[in-house]
Amino acid sequence: MIELRPNCEYCDKDLPPDALDARICTYECTFCADCVERHLANVCPNCGGGFAPRPVRPAQEHRPGLSLAKRPASTRRVHLSYSREEIAAFSRSLRDVPPERR
C-alpha cells in the first residue's frame, strides 16, 4: 500500500491524498509536479529514478476495508537531506538519461 506522504519533499507544498499534482518515484519519494519539472528535471534526488503521477486512493469504500477512511494517508512530513545545490548537480548529472536506463 502506498504511503501517500502529505507534502512535497522539495518545497513542502501540501499534497493531500487526492492531489492530482503529486508525483512519486519507485521508493515513494513524493514531490509536486512543479518541482519535478522546474527543479528536479524528472530525477529523484534520493534514488536517481524518474517520477509518475501518484494514484489517488478511493475515498469511498468499494470493497471492505479498502478506502482512504479505512487506510488513511500518512501524516508524517518528509524533507530532503540534501542541499539545493547538491540536488541541482545530481539532477544535471542524470537528466539526459531516460528514467528507464538510470
Per-residue model confidence (pLDDT) at position 39: 97
pLDDT, mean of residues 5-25: 98
36 close to 51: Cβ distance less than 8 angstroms: yes
Where in the chain are the domains? 22-95
Contacts of residue 63, defined as CB under 8 A and 6 or more positions apart, other chains included, come to: none
59 close to 94: Cβ distance less than 8 angstroms: no
For 20-35, how does the pLDDT look when each residue is reduced to its tens digit (9 = 90+)? 999 999 999 999 999 9
Return the percentage of the chain with pLDDT > 90, whole number: 100
Distance of CA 46 to the CA centre of its chain: 11
pLDDT, mean of residues 48-64: 96
Burial class (CB within 10 angstroms; exposed 0-12, middle 13-18, buried 19+) of 66: middle
Distance of CA 95 to the CA centre of its chain: 17
